[in-house]
Amino acid sequence: MIDKADHLSSESVVIGAHRLEGHLTLPPDAMGVVIFAHGSGSSRFSPRNRYVAEELSSRGFATLLFDLLTADEAEDRRNVFDIPLLADRVVEAIDTIAGDQRTRDLPIGLFGASTGAAAALVAAAHRPDTVAAVVSRGGRPDLASSDLPRVRAPTMLIVGGADVAVIDLNRAAMERMSCVKGLRIVKGATHLFEESGALEQVVEVAAFWFHAHMGGSGVEGF
């Protein structure tokens, strides 16, 4: 059996009109592209997102990690919580990937963390014919506000079992969504999923969800 991780193509890329810095990893015969939207105070170098991206790449998904803000924009703390602004940047990434000859024929999934999850959901609502699936890790989908009912992409919300307030926010957001949706609570995990084995569970759920909705299999029994 050939290990796909040994045959990955990885390169720096520039995203959209704002020339956002990113990193695109392409395994051979990729079944889709997962675009990562990081949370407040983070960047494309988020160790947790990088871990998830590496695991997804080893399972046959292309991944894009990119900065939602320029260096100057990130210095203004108001920008890291500006969901419409962040969502626009995710849309730029979606359009870039959809227009790249290497990835234009692949389905696109979004993986958002914290505020990045809200940005991903708003972006999915604005690109309903392009986004195939969304996964939120410790996300704040409630911040997607009026865009929640417009999301058509199947959405999986993953929350730490010890992140009680965020669990409630995710449940309330789910009630406003009409798409295929799911909520997975990782027992004992806090907001950042730093506990032993917690992030591994995130990977398993995310990989299953993306494969189900981007790779053609069903979600029976999930």
State pLDDT tens for residues 86-120.
999 999 999 999 999 999 999 999 999 999 999 99
Give residue-wise pLDDT tens across range 24-81.
999 999 999 999 999 876 778 788 889 999 999 999 999 999 999 988 998 888 988 9
d(CA 112, CA 119): 7
Instruction: Report, as an integer, the average pLDDT of 145-165.
Output: 96
**How would you list the strands of the sheet with 9-15, edge to edge?**
9-15, 20-26, 61-66, 32-37, 108-113, 131-137, 155-160, 181-186
Comparing 1 with 205, the larger pLDDT belongs to 205
Helices 115-126 and 83-99, axial angle in degrees (round to 10): 60
Residue 134 has pLDDT above 70, yes or no: yes
Give the amino acid at 135.
V
Residue 206 has pLDDT above 90, yes or no: yes
For the domain made up of 4-214, give the CATH fold. Rossmann fold (3.40.50)
Parse the chain into domains and list their residue ranges: 4-214
Query: Tokens 């950042």, residue?
Result: 192
Q: What CA–CA distances, in Å, run from 66 to 21, 150, 154?
A: 6, 25, 23
Q: What are phi and psi of 106, to 5 degrees?
A: -100, 145
Q: Which of 5, 203, 217, 220 is nearest to 107 (CA)?
A: 217
Q: What is the pTM of this model?
A: 0.92
Helices 47-58 and 198-214, axial angle in degrees (round to 10): 50
Instruction: Report, as an integer, the average pLDDT of 140-168.
Output: 96
Question: From the CB of residue 195, how many other CB atoms can be counted at a distance below 10 Å?
Answer: 16
Comparing 7 with 174, the larger pLDDT belongs to 174
**pLDDT score of 220:** 46
Give residue-wise pLDDT tens across range 167-204.
999 999 999 999 999 999 999 999 989 899 999 999 99
**pLDDT score of 26:** 96
d(CA 165, CA 184): 15
Q: How many CA atoms lie within 13 A of 131 on its CB side?
A: 29
Give the amino acid at 37.
A
d(CA 64, CA 139): 19
Question: pLDDT exceeding 70 applies to what percent of the chain?
Answer: 93
- CA gyration radius, the chain: 16
